[in-house]
Chains A and B, each alone.
Chain A
Amino acid sequence: MPHVATIVVSILFDGLAYAMFLFITSVGLSVTMGLMGFVNLAHGAFAMCGGFFVVSLTRSLGVPFVPSLVIAATAVGFISIPFERYLYRQLYKSTDLEQVLLTIGLAFMSIATFTYFYGPIPKSVPLPDWLEGHINLGFRAFPSYRAFLIVVGAGLIAVLWYAFERTNIGAKIRAAVDNRRMAESVGINVDRLFTLTFALGSGLAALGGGLAIQLFGLTPSFAVLYLVLFLIVVAVGGLGSLKGTLLAALVIGIIDTGGKYAFPVAGNLFIYAITVVVLLIRPAGFYGRE
């Protein structure tokens, strides 16, 4: 067995990469749930959609991987706008249960539609050469794709943080999350804000979906298979909080990876244990508001 330090570094690295995937895909859900109070269980469907766009772009149109990710994310972001405007908006005042059911219904419809067009066989994407290799740092070689995930995640975190903390729009969003009525009364167009945030969240989900193909393969069922995982990240992190989602993603990603390394028999028990422990102590998650 190698040195303990090497094992720890490996787990941290792999866990970090996994956490970045969790963060990218879940952050949109956290913000929309926190901002609009809307439980969007079709979030996984947007991720799945983005994944299939990437597959079609790379395989059928020959677009390279990284540009495909950007195009798919933007496209899904735009596509989500009419959903928000004409469908979701009608249910902002409804109960959580009704929102859950509407969005589950949408998720089912999307799975069936994509199964019809793409079939049930899992898909993969061709990666450029520089993403297929390893980065050798002497004591360990790190897979390039995982390093790529970490870089993309870190970059997104920086961009999002800047956007939320330093820009006007970010300030408006934060205001609307804190106190919607107050924000409206000072003239913030909350409706447009919602649409923008939702589009952003869905676009990020699509990006996460595209990045996930290399990790998990892509079938239409992706929309619901990992949904519980995203919900866990959001609940544990706290609704509407960027910091919370990030912390939750890190905790879950690293502990799950470490758990799988050290005690693989336990399966997913670590994730559920974290969920229960955190929620019993802090029901609103790490950075949620009561």
Chain B
Amino acid sequence: MAASETMAVGPMREQVRERAAGFLISRHHYRWPEALPWLIAIACYFVFPDRMTFGSQVLVMVMFALSLDLILGYAGIVSLGHAAFFGIGAYVVALGSLRLGWSEPISGIIAAGVVAGIFGAVVGWFMLRYRGLTLLMLTIAFAATLQESGNLRSDITGGYDGLPGLTFDPLFGLFDYDLYGRTNYLYALAALAVVFYFVRRIVYSPFGQALTGIRENVRRMHAIGSPVHLRLVTVYAIAAAIAGVAGALFTQTNAYVTLTVFDFDNSAKVMVILILGGTGRLYGAFFGAAVYMILEDYFSKLSPTFWQFGIGLLLVLAVLFARRGVLGLFEDSSAYLGKRKKP
């Protein structure tokens, strides 16, 4: 390098760093469209007070899909066994209530998240050395093994008939659960908001940028000395913890859990939901879960066979024409409209 170039490196480096920081900070700012999903969710409470039971299930699914987005959308880990952590969280809360008398709901879901996160860290440390089909099969095998082991000890887990009659203390000692599920809905919404806040901070942090780097070009990340494996295990553990919280909410809002929480179908369903909504966009989880579950509810009343056909067709069309999901379509069309506005 010529002497003149080396002399200029110092101030240049400062400039680059400033620009990078500015970029990250700008993404950190909340933009007004972000308020929309939350406003809609709160509005539903008032507009559809008789569908709150269904609404709670949608919110649980949103949280579950959000946790998958962390690993799939941001870190690029393809997992068809994410229901494993959902199930772990679900059973921690159930067994805690039944056997330890631990029926305080909020500490329950935190505990569920912690336990699921620990499992995620341990399992992830072994599995995340691999990619592609190998990793996929390992994730499937882990969830299936949990389910089979749970059946082996159905004296503890209740097997496929599950653990009924779970009771949970009223929230904050004040708000009890009503038949219409209104308390549950607000509870789930609040939990989702808290979780979302943390996820958003992670994703727009330097850590989140590193994840995107890993997703886009693993080799380069290795080359620049980024601790890839450690980062992957960390995000996997965080995603596992969030999935665990979702599972705990599921148990609490249903007051019931069975081994079917570990079903392969659940892992596949949450992936379909996330893809349809759009990965790597955080709000994809919201759109995907809401749209999927509402459509499922509507069509399965008409004709369940038609529903299955419809969702299959939607998937095929999505892959062929809308690879980045519903949100991707929004982005594309607003970019298109934006272009048209300019002369």
Contact = CB atoms under 8 A, between A and B. Distances in A.
Interface of A: 33, 39, 90-91, 94, 96-98, 100-102, 104-113, 115-116, 228, 231-232, 234-236, 239, 265-269, 272-273, 275-276, 279-280, 283-284
A254 B144 CA distance: 20
B264 interface: yes
Contact of A105 (B126, B264, B312): B312
B315 interface: yes
A97 B77 CA distance: 10
In terms of DSSP, what is the predominant structure of the interface of chain A? helix
Interface stretch (B22-30, B131-139, B201-209): B131-139
Contacts of B313: 105, 109
Contacts of A268: 144, 148
17 contacts: A96-B78, A98-B319, A100-B78, A102-B316, A104-B315, A105-B315, A105-B318, A107-B312, A112-B307, A112-B308, A115-B305, A269-B145, A272-B141, A276-B141, A279-B130, A279-B141, A284-B134
Contacts of B129: 283
Contacts of A266: 148, 152
Contact of A106 (B134, B136, B152, B312): B312
Contact of B137 (A33, A115, A232): A232
A276 B138 contact: yes
B320 A90 contact: yes
Given A108-B308, A269-B149, A276-B138, A91 B132 contact: no
B316 A235 contact: no
B130 A283 contact: yes
Nearest to A114: B305
Nearest to A232: B137
Contacts of B78: 96-97, 100
A105 B320 CA distance: 11
Contacts of A235: 133-134, 136-137
Given A101-B272, A102-B319, A272-B145, A109 B134 contact: no
A21 B214 CA distance: 40
B296 to A, nearest CB: 12
B197 interface: no
B134 A279 contact: yes
A231 B129 CA distance: 20
Contacts of A101: 271-272, 275, 315, 318-319
A98 B323 contact: yes
A279 B137 CA distance: 8
Contact of B314 (A105, A228, A239): A105
Nearest to B129: A283
Given A105-B319, A231-B137, A269 B309 contact: no
A266 B313 CA distance: 38
| Central interface residue in B152, B268, B315, by most chain A CB within 10 Å | B315
10 A-B pairs with least C-beta separation: A105-B315, A108-B312, A112-B309, A109-B312, A105-B316, A112-B308, A102-B319, A283-B134, A235-B137, A105-B312
A247 to B, nearest CB: 16
Given A112-B305, A269-B148, A239 B316 contact: no
Contact of B319 (A91, A239, A272, A276): A91
Contacts of A280: 126, 138
A94 B320 CA distance: 10
B312 A239 contact: no
Contacts of A100: 78
Given A96-B132, A112-B305, A275 B141 contact: yes
A223 to B, nearest CB: 11
Interface in B116-130: 126, 129-130
Given A90-B320, A104-B315, A105-B315, A116 B305 contact: yes
